[in-house]
Structure 1
Amino acid sequence: MEPKNIKKIAIIRRNGFGDFICAVPLIKHIENSYPDAEITLFVDKRNCAIVPYFFSHLKVVVIPGGNKYLALIQIALKYRSENFDIVISVKTSPMKLNNLFLAILGGKQRFAIVDEKSWHSRFINRPRPQEQFKQGHQALNCLRILDPKIQSLSSELYPRIQLDQSPNEKLALSPPYLFISVSNNRTTSSLAVPALANIANNVHKLSSFSVIISYQGQDKDRAIELRQSLNMDSQICDTPDLSSFLSLLNCADVVLVGDGGICHFAACLNKKLVALYANTSIETWGPLSDNAICFFDNDNVNNIPTEQIQESLQRFIDLSRTETPAANDNMLPR
């Protein structure tokens, strides 16, 4: 179908923050390729919170919680009358539930990755063979679900979040700021508190900076332990919602974090980022940023030589200080 004949497009992307962020380049590409089409995003409740940071103008349908099969079937039946021209499952592996959803939704062209031996592959009339998507970045493979001829990901399609640069009222520190999160749902991607403290203290011997410590509720004790172990000014910050968290992260000059949602958000904010990966492939899930240094270990990020992490942090912090020459004059009262 000619682009001018495409009037309605549906995109389904469930799962976590990082998964949705890696789908953003595809959505941008679709907007560019089909400028006259109405785009509807089908997302779960969690991802619904981040959509407005990337696409404030698109129609969003929230998939309710509970029984996931029942929820998807009900939503698909409700919106079947939209008569979508294109429907896409943005999942880079075969997913029977998404494929069933596309079939019930009833799009004229249904794009998804399939395993040809699986029964649900028959629902997809624009199938993409699974074996063609086993390598390459997740975001690039999302693009290739629509157009397999795409071989590279343009930086113009990188996910970006633009936030107000006004000072965060929570902070009573002097810049530059090193942002550290002591929370990660992947245990192997989280540095131990003594290692975090040792790295920060060694870097601080050569360059002054302050530390913003972020945590999730269950890790408050780890945040307190880290602050007590640091030799520089630091502050533990509670962020009860996504908005307050992104506002805090946006204040950072340098971010040190394991792979996961925070890593991807830091890349979206174009922060100087030192990202630590274990088990998860950097080639597949690395941050979409030209401003990131990534390290990898097969088993656990605590096996990564701390000297390498320190050197990268030092470089980024020194660069941040040259970009904020008034850093030493901006100390706020504690």
Structure 2
Amino acid sequence: MKKRVLITGAAGFLGSHLCDRFIKEGFHVIGMDNLITGDLKNIEHLFPLEQFEFFHHDVSKYVHVAGNLDYILHFASPASPIDYLKIPIQTLKVGSLGTHNLLGLAKNKKARLLIASTSEVYGDPLVHPQAEDYYGNVNTIGPRGVYDEAKRFQESITMAYHRFHGLETRIVRIFNTYGPRMRLNDGRVIPAFMGQALRGEDLTVFGDGSQTRSFCYVDDQVEGIFRLLMSDYPMPVNIGNPNEISISDFAQEIIKLTGTDQKVIYKDLPQDDPMKRKPDISLAKEILNWEPQVSREEGMRRTFEYFKTLSLEELDKREHKDFTQHNRR
């Protein structure tokens, strides 16, 4: 019989790519999503497959899955500032109640559970690059705290189940990831810049542009997650690309890539926006034999080709316009 895996947040950007990977690996995939931020278009190509099924469900409520389960990947959570600033309570609930429900399910099914944590657990870091033994610098009561603290609690309760119940758990700390199926209006820097370029708008940088980010292409991220799930390592592992770039320099790369002649304009930096973000991936190299393979130049080319296929209606969306260009993730 095929091994069965439950993937929450299955209709989201990263969750949908994970569904593709596990289908390719021969698993029976059960996707689950409440579609608050996910989009069925991301997984509609899987609906005809016998080895895929989908449940429209909020994991903050009791989760039931019939039959055996071998693995659970918990990726249900708003992941961009535009989303978690709009739905802060739901963000906290999916990280706390949702994680608790899935830990209980994993315990009942004797399944291995991998949770999607984030580089945001490091906050605005005082250590650079960020390694897994750094505890972070997080404002618990700031606007970003609803996401940061949800993820930190998620790690804590997962380790409690691992230590107290002997549950097989894995924790991936995801750094900035990009690629096809990102939403143009989700508030993250890459879709924001590319959307502006395609609409002929000036590129908006918040702060002086000296803040840095490190971007990992989605295929590399999925490979790292898969290797971690199949490993025997229960502690957090950074998965990201350590090739760091300032936001100002990145804006110039986007202008060159898109062949546009827009200017770069500068606005005030949002509260608690991290000034540095770069993963130390020494641990992933050591225990997973993993490191990124796709260069930023190649990954951005693929991503731009995807965005160019979107309709004019999608390009012209202006919802949440006050947040759409925040260089936060």
Query: Same-fold call, TM > 0.5?
Result: no
Higher relative contact order (CA closer than 8 Å, sequence separation 6+):
2
What is the TM-score of this pair, normalised by structure 1? Answer: 0.38
Report which of the two has the higher share of helix: 1
TM-score scaled to structure 2, two decimals? 0.38
Larger Rg: 1
